[in-house]
Structure 1
Amino acid sequence: MHSGCYSEAGQRKSNKNSQLWYEQPANVWEEALPIGNGRIGAMVFGKTSHERIQLNDDSMWPADLGWDEPAGNANDLAEIRQLLIKGKHQEADHLFVERFSRKSVVRSHQTLGDLFLNFEHDDITDYRRELDINTAIAHTNYRSKGYQISQKVYASHPHRAIVIELSSESPEGFNGTIELGRPNDAGYPTAKSHIGDDMVLVMEGEVTQRDGKIDSKPTPILNGVRFQTCLKVLNENGEVLTKDKSLMLKGVKKATIFLVNNTSFYQKDFVTQNNKDLQQAIAAGAEKIKKEHVKEYQKYYQRVELFLENESPDSLATDQRLERVKNGETDLGLQNLLFNYGRYLLISSSRPGTNPANLQGLWNQHINAPWNADYHLNINLQMNYWLANVTNLDELNEPLFDYIDRLVQNGQKTAKVNFDCQGTFVPHATDLWAPTWLRAPTAYWGCSVGAGAWLMQHYWVHYAFTNDLDFLKERAFPAIKQSALFYSDWLIEDPRDGYLVSAPSTSPENRFFSTDKKAVASCMGSAMDQQVIAEVFDHYVQACELLEVKPPLLEKIRKQRKSLRPGFVLGGDGRILEWDREYKEVEPGHRHMSHLYGFHPGTAITQSETPEIMDAVRKTLDCRLENGGAGTGWSRAWLINCYARLFDGDMAQQHIELLLKQSMYKNLFDAHPPFQIDGNFGYTAGVAEMLLQSHEKELIRILPALPSKWENGYIRGLKARGNITVDILWEDGVIKQVDLTCPEKKQIKMIYEAQTIEVNLTAGKTFTFRN
């Protein structure tokens, strides 16, 4: 958008929406501030006497012990299907778990440990800590006995290091120790520290998990990813000495701490790589590292800018603003900040060459994390990446695709051995090593078969946003083909109506009452399974057409697609059926809304092509809410996206305010509770969805769900499908200007309220609409 579209006041105020700040140190982990370079990161507490910087590496996992598929085979699958045909759902659930869910040791992502800076500062005044998400630097500033003390912490991607800059104006300087440590695992030490050559503080160890369990019995994993953390201090004035297994600062007025970490997951010779990273960081120096860090980070962050005109008190600290919202105030600036924060967190936890963001992104203080901080594939990992393309962060999808490729490869064995199917099978949850067998004691949360098709959507969406035909051919199509192959073999004919259905089939983590009033999960074709299979079939066919190929599978998929039971079937009350028949729900207000997958994040239900289903979607959401739904942060974020798709900006805004009131920690981490990062990512995607939609064919909707409270603002740099960059300026709730830019010639329709505008885009030139 041309700079003339921005008011100077707007530009100045928008900078306020890039800072989280506080008037006191973090008392608990959920108040600390996150930094990360995609692979390594930290949570900065900002303490004045015993500073804690909790460290993270995305590859800290117990060992891959090797794995064999469960005992189940095609005969067992046929027996389960016969039970379902006879209406014996409970028996089918039991057999599904018994034969196809492997009783495995559950592995957890783990903390790397802690860096402690033990400086006994007292008489503290003028305290302020902040995270500047425009520069990705955490600052702590205060006075001790009247003298200024400052700390800067950042994680540099170009230099593969965390850097901590310390300065003191006190004539006594810094006096105290620097230590590295790691929590015990069930009482056992997990790392050793020592002083190495050239006064480098070293911590090294191997990941264990002594509280791993199988059949509720401890099953220790005594080896795993090996790691080494190295820390070097460069000082001005004073001395750096050694004391036992720590470094000691004496009278140091300025110091730079360089910290690096490498693991055996990424590097066979990780110790050599660690030394190389440390020496390169030291040679570069803090000023060069910081300059290149900010430049490289802003290459991503500054692609998009949102400004919502806001009367809220920017002079208040972030936690104070959050408290005001919880007491009923509206703070558009905080909503704006949270949108930016989601982009910051993805940039900081997902970079080309790293692992994808897990349930906690990158930031985890536990040896045994909640839900193992693993990869849940029935919405959570997917939600982590909803924002990537639309907020112009296409490259950050690469770790996701690298990981799915591993799942696709491993799942080919599971598909063949357990189900006698071609293609690949992907379970509902997995971990760093990408195992693909089911692992759950119950069918309703563990025996989902739709995850593979859901993951395939991300390949297709990435192609749709980038128009990268090479990506479609070389990366997306091979994966989509494997998924389509599996579901093609998996489907059976339902003898009740002749439709092709997925069986056994569940709706993730939800249950219904069978005819004998038992709470059960398995059925003949849940809504979600039917929807995701239809979608992966459609994308396979479309990919074949775009790539101009006609493999033998193509005609079979086309034929099966016509015989699939529809994924959207209405019940007697006008709602979408979640299962194959109109059963009574065990939890009418369940947090998952999987039976609306084809509406969002799918694209099968749209205003332009299926308007008759839109009312049913709303009724379905209304029923969930009337029965206490959306109790978790990520579920609330999903609702924001859904109401954006329903063009109901005020309802989306209501859920934004409820997210802030009910599901937000002081550091603006999403509270499931406990912390799950998908709510942060889902929120940012939802805001983008409120401002721009492009999921309908050759159609872009501008401000489709603008809340009445968002009277004045602008968004710069959003992406629409077709590789179109979109800038929007509005005043008094009305569009003033829209700029569309595309690197290739394209013809589209742009819709704003009741207006439909035919747009002919010229390659490399900006089309401007003024209202």
Structure 2
Amino acid sequence: MKKIILLALLFEFLIASSQNGQNLKLWYNEPSGKIWENALPIGNGFLGAMVYGNVENEIIQLNENTVWTGGPNRNDNPKALAALPEIRKLIFDGKHMDAEKLANEAFISKKSHGQMFQPVGNLNLNFEGHEKYSNYKRELDIEKAISKTSYVVEGVTYTREAFVSFSERVIVIHLTADKKASISFTANYTSPHKIKRFAVSGSKDLEISGTTSDHEGVASLIKFKGITRIKLDKGTLEQTENSLTVKGANSATLYISIATNFNNYHDVSGNENQRALDYLNKAFGKPYQKLKKEHILAYQKYFNRVKLDLGTTSAVNLPTDERLENFRNTNDPQFVALYYQYGRYLLISSSQPGGQPANLQGIWNNNLNPSWDSKYTININAEMNYWPAEKTNLSELHEPFLQMVKDLAETGKETAKTMYGARGWMAHHNTDIWRATGAVDGAFWGLWTAGGGWASQHLWDHYLYSGDKEFLKDIYPVLKGAALFYVDFLVDHPKYKWMVVNPGNSPENAPQAHNGSSLDAGTTMDTQIVTDVFNTTIRAAEILKEDATLIDTLKGIRSRLAPMHIGKHNQLQEWLDDIDDPKDNHRHVSHLYGLFPSNQISAYKTPELFAASKNTLLQRGDVSTGWSMGWKINWWAKLQDGNHAYTLIKNQLTPLGVNRGGGGTYNNLFDAHPPFQIDGNFGCTSGITEMLIQSSDGAIHLLPALPDVWSAGTIEGIRARGGFEIVEMVWKDAKIYKLVVKSTLGGNLRLRLPNSMKEKSGADLEIAKGENPNPFYFVNETVEPIISKESTIKLLELKPTFLVDISTKKGNMYTFVSK
């Protein structure tokens, strides 16, 4: 009894204390109709659903995270190794298009180009006689992860609540009315799959089963099973061959379970039927209100860690679609906070420990043939999905992506050996649930060898935030393997004598000087990623006291890598030669990887490269695809230009079709590439965080890119490297008035502040000197850039800051106030 009372008290406390009373809801006064991008997403990392909120013909579109086409397979091209010397020679000789033609034959997969994430189908709820309604409203409460639809028919108020349980593996839909015996509807499944079956069991369970599609020569081995069971308060439940009809109930609760036979990327021997039944039976015994409370508690364990308050205006009273329409022309700071938290909501809902990583659409997809297969594009998009994980206090939700990287380190060994004759492991620009590592989609896009190297940096990032040395020991072989691949793969450039990646490219872009070919040797991004791979492996080996000989080897090769270049247009060069076009507005600005998410370009350590990065961004322009604008927010934050970062937020939070030639945002606040890609949501959430806190450049920099419109605000719960948590930061007139920091690991706390502060006791803070002694804030030195003789690069003027050091002890809290 005491346990139940304590649970109830905790539940009430969490609800009462959530988000300082801010209204974190997406809401609308019209149904979705037939438009999927109007529907509202719910999920628990394993199951996803889109709730349309239609009155007479409700649609609940269903996804399960392992419903993918195909089965275990490989897609390496065995011709690659023999062709590698010739392709390298062609590139060095300036015959880029000839190299690309040969690469299409010898490197690009002749098997699968990656399998597809597919939907299960729809659960349809038909309410006869509800075509004439009033007082309609639908909403998604992202504080509780619950969708709600309400309306009135003939004086009766009907309410539907839906959530994907975070405590059970089921979707729950609860139907009520304010007049008894008013709930009547028919439920049935539909599915776009070719191989499918609908049935009603003897126990009146509505069932859907099927097999995903064969794709690109890979036979499908994935079988799925979905079961809907209805619990009634009064009323009757009738069945047909493939539907259930409820008549005259006071309320009805639908429990939906979905499962597949997928165990892991090389094992599909599970029993989808038994799994679905087990999930359903476990949840069905619980009353709706108990399930709902448990769900909210489990969800808010993650969501309530971070609170953001940028102020509120009267715009908060408008429906979400109207606020989206108005945002670029009005002041609606709470809309930014809503969108920020929506990004966290989407990550919590699409990525949970033990599940699959959030894919190109998170966990929500209604198409058998989704754009880009809705898989994992690892030349930016999959990484961007996880940029908010550590910094917005969702570290556990990083696990599915980190596990995928460990999987790729296994499957990628054969690719490294077969295609490149190299040790270690590698992956190209795309992968899927089967952890494919071959080159796909054509040499222009697919002959990029840095996918594994970039993804591996997330393992290191997790260590820097958590300080978990056991984790570092576990993932060190993955870091080492990524480095060994480059040890064997790098070659000497015959003209410049640096060691370079060849073949390589700067993702999805091509200079006019190469006649439309993307292939090149020594592109800036390739070298930046190799530098990071070597830096992190060296640091990890030193911490773990491993591989002294390898450390020497990596340091030796690192010293021979090409430095970054500043070109004649005062830009950071994208290619080794000075061939950038200042009128190029390509969506990828990949060579700014060194600015973010890497820290090779710094305001304080590499001022010329810092200024060149700004020039590159200005030349590329603001409006682009949705995810590209999301990345640009992070870059402008790193450039300490809050107003320009905010301009990109306004561009991104613009209805699709308004930004000429670019993306934007759908009515349900999904990011529009277009079409929908979830990476832009996550990129923007990351960027907003970077505007408020950065911790990659030797210190915790607070309010580095505060726009004028956010002159006052509060944030709680965001995290910095080295185990520091910003428990509370309050600012006004762009100055920090109160700061509370928790040190979970101890060690030196170096703060870069916009104004002078003191300890709560009144004691002055020690002015920082030299390098930060905290090992989590070690920053590798970047080689001096080579600057074109035609360049007239001018350094940027930075805002003055106060750099201070505080010695901290593990587990203690530290409070500072403005002077």
Is TM more than 0.5 here? yes
Q: How does 1:109-120 map to 2 (within 5 A)?
A: 109-120=117-128
- 1:254 matched to which residue of 2? 251
- 1:26 matched to which residue of 2? 32
Seen in structure 2, the aligned counterparts of structure 1 residues 367 and 177 have a Cα distance that, compared at 3 Å, is same
- 1:709 matched to which residue of 2? 709
2:200 maps to 1:207: no
Q: Indicate the larger mover: 760-769 or 227-236.
A: 760-769
Would the aligned equivalents of 1:192 and 1:203 in 2 still touch at CA under 8 Å?
yes
1:98 partner amino acid: E
- Kindly state the Cα deviation for residue 379 of structure 1 after the two structures are TM-superposed: 0.3
Q: How does 1:311-390 map to 2 (within 5 A)?
A: 311-326=313-328, 328-390=329-391
- SS of the residue 1:423 aligns to: coil
Q: Deviations over 1:105-160 (max 9, x none)?
A: 44221111101010121331111111000010001111111101010101112211
2:522 partner amino acid: G
- Kindly state the Cα deviation for residue 666 of structure 1 after the two structures are TM-superposed: 0.5
2:613 maps to 1:617: yes
Give the whole-Å Cα distance in 1 for the aligned partners of 2:558 and 2:254. 59
- 2:491 matched to which residue of 1? 492
- Kindly state the Cα deviation for residue 57 of structure 1 after the two structures are TM-superposed: 0.7
2:104 maps to 1:84: no
2:724 maps to 1:724: yes
- SS of the residue 2:710 aligns to: coil
Give the whole-Å Cα distance in 1 for the aligned partners of 2:19 and 2:191. 41
- Kindly state the Cα deviation for residue 573 of structure 1 after the two structures are TM-superposed: 1.8
Give the whole-Å Cα distance in 2 for the aligned partners of 1:68 and 1:486. 19
2:226 maps to 1:179: no
1:620 partner amino acid: T
Give the whole-Å Cα distance in 1 for the aligned partners of 2:676 and 2:67. 19
Would the aligned equivalents of 1:17 and 1:336 in 2 still touch at CA under 8 Å?
no
Give the whole-Å Cα distance in 1 for the aligned partners of 2:750 and 2:580. 43
- Kindly state the Cα deviation for residue 170 of structure 1 after the two structures are TM-superposed: 3.9
Q: Deviations over 1:526-568 (max 9, x none)?
A: 00000000110011100111111235322211110111111x2
Would the aligned equivalents of 1:691 and 1:705 in 2 still touch at CA under 8 Å?
yes
Q: Deviations over 1:486-511 (max 9, x none)?
A: 01100001111211000011000000
- Kindly state the Cα deviation for residue 585 of structure 1 after the two structures are TM-superposed: 4.2
Q: Deviations over 1:661-720 (max 9, x none)?
A: 1401110000101100000000000000000010012x1111111111002210000000
Q: How does 1:609-688 map to 2 (within 5 A)?
A: 609-625=605-621, 630-661=623-654, 662=659, 663-688=664-689
Would the aligned equivalents of 1:723 and 1:742 in 2 still touch at CA under 8 Å?
yes
1:206 partner amino acid: T
- SS of the residue 1:709 aligns to: helix
Q: Deviations over 1:225-266 (max 9, x none)?
A: 101001100101110110231000111120110000110113
- 1:3 matched to which residue of 2? none
2:105 maps to 1:98: yes
Would the aligned equivalents of 2:108 and 2:439 in 1 still touch at CA under 8 Å?
yes
Give the whole-Å Cα distance in 2 for the aligned partners of 1:313 and 1:85. 58
- 1:769 matched to which residue of 2? 816
Give the whole-Å Cα distance in 2 for the aligned partners of 1:222 and 1:171. 51
Give the whole-Å Cα distance in 1 for the aligned partners of 2:650 and 2:402. 33
- 2:163 matched to which residue of 1? 154
Q: How does 1:20-169 map to 2 (within 5 A)?
A: 20-27=26-33, 28-64=35-71, 66-106=73-113, 107-120=115-128, 121-169=130-178
Give the whole-Å Cα distance in 2 for the aligned partners of 1:582 and 1:78. 25
State the percentage of identical aligned residues: 36
Q: Indicate the larger mover: 431-440 or 130-139.
A: 431-440
Give the whole-Å Cα distance in 2 for the aligned partners of 1:615 and 1:462. 29
- Kindly state the Cα deviation for residue 452 of structure 1 after the two structures are TM-superposed: 1.3
- Kindly state the Cα deviation for residue 17 of structure 1 after the two structures are TM-superposed: 4.2
Q: Indicate the larger mover: 444-453 or 138-147.
A: 444-453
Give the whole-Å Cα distance in 2 for the aligned partners of 1:294 and 1:134. 8
Give the whole-Å Cα distance in 1 for the aligned partners of 2:21 and 2:586. 39
Give the whole-Å Cα distance in 1 for the aligned partners of 2:446 and 2:286. 49
- 1:194 matched to which residue of 2? 199
- SS of the residue 2:520 aligns to: coil
- Kindly state the Cα deviation for residue 63 of structure 1 after the two structures are TM-superposed: 1.4
1:34 partner amino acid: P
1:525 partner amino acid: G
Give the whole-Å Cα distance in 2 for the aligned partners of 1:383 and 1:479. 20
Give the whole-Å Cα distance in 2 for the aligned partners of 1:244 and 1:280. 26
Gaps of 5+ in 2: 1-15, 264-268, 755-800
Give the whole-Å Cα distance in 2 for the aligned partners of 1:413 and 1:153. 45
Would the aligned equivalents of 1:415 and 1:423 in 2 still touch at CA under 8 Å?
yes
Q: Indicate the larger mover: 585-594 or 306-315.
A: 585-594
- Kindly state the Cα deviation for residue 313 of structure 1 after the two structures are TM-superposed: 2.1
- SS of the residue 1:183 aligns to: coil
Q: How does 1:236-635 map to 2 (within 5 A)?
A: 236-266=233-263, 268-326=270-328, 328-441=329-442, 443-475=443-475, 477-514=476-513, 518-566=515-563, 568-585=564-581, 588-625=584-621, 630-635=623-628
- SS of the residue 1:199 aligns to: coil
- 1:758 matched to which residue of 2? 805
- Kindly state the Cα deviation for residue 13 of structure 1 after the two structures are TM-superposed: 8.1
Aligned length: 740
- Kindly state the Cα deviation for residue 745 of structure 1 after the two structures are TM-superposed: 2.3
1:116 partner amino acid: N
- Kindly state the Cα deviation for residue 587 of structure 1 after the two structures are TM-superposed: 7.2
Give the whole-Å Cα distance in 1 for the aligned partners of 2:583 and 2:219. 40
- Kindly state the Cα deviation for residue 638 of structure 1 after the two structures are TM-superposed: 0.5
- Kindly state the Cα deviation for residue 41 of structure 1 after the two structures are TM-superposed: 1.2
- Kindly state the Cα deviation for residue 450 of structure 1 after the two structures are TM-superposed: 1.3
Would the aligned equivalents of 1:122 and 1:145 in 2 still touch at CA under 8 Å?
no
Give the whole-Å Cα distance in 1 for the aligned partners of 2:262 and 2:17. 44
Q: Deviations over 1:205-229 (max 9, x none)?
A: 11114xx45xxxxx6x553310100
- Kindly state the Cα deviation for residue 174 of structure 1 after the two structures are TM-superposed: 2.2
Seen in structure 2, the aligned counterparts of structure 1 residues 241 and 596 have a Cα distance that, compared at 3 Å, is same
Would the aligned equivalents of 1:17 and 1:334 in 2 still touch at CA under 8 Å?
no
Would the aligned equivalents of 2:316 and 2:332 in 1 still touch at CA under 8 Å?
no
Seen in structure 2, the aligned counterparts of structure 1 residues 318 and 156 have a Cα distance that, compared at 3 Å, is same
Would the aligned equivalents of 2:313 and 2:331 in 1 still touch at CA under 8 Å?
no
Q: Detail structure 1 runs of 4+ shifted over 6 Å in the superposition.
A: 10-13
Give the whole-Å Cα distance in 2 for the aligned partners of 1:470 and 1:65. 31
Give the whole-Å Cα distance in 2 for the aligned partners of 1:572 and 1:585. 10
- Kindly state the Cα deviation for residue 12 of structure 1 after the two structures are TM-superposed: 9.0
Would the aligned equivalents of 1:259 and 1:278 in 2 still touch at CA under 8 Å?
yes
- SS of the residue 1:52 aligns to: strand
Give the whole-Å Cα distance in 1 for the aligned partners of 2:460 and 2:580. 35
Seen in structure 2, the aligned counterparts of structure 1 residues 630 and 601 have a Cα distance that, compared at 3 Å, is farther
Query: What's the C-alpha RMSD, in Å, of the aligned pairs?
Result: 1.7
- SS of the residue 2:414 aligns to: helix
Would the aligned equivalents of 1:590 and 1:630 in 2 still touch at CA under 8 Å?
no
Would the aligned equivalents of 1:97 and 1:440 in 2 still touch at CA under 8 Å?
no
Q: Indicate the larger mover: 74-83 or 356-365.
A: 74-83
2:500 partner amino acid: V
Would the aligned equivalents of 2:225 and 2:258 in 1 still touch at CA under 8 Å?
yes
Would the aligned equivalents of 1:157 and 1:293 in 2 still touch at CA under 8 Å?
yes
- Kindly state the Cα deviation for residue 65 of structure 1 after the two structures are TM-superposed: 5.9
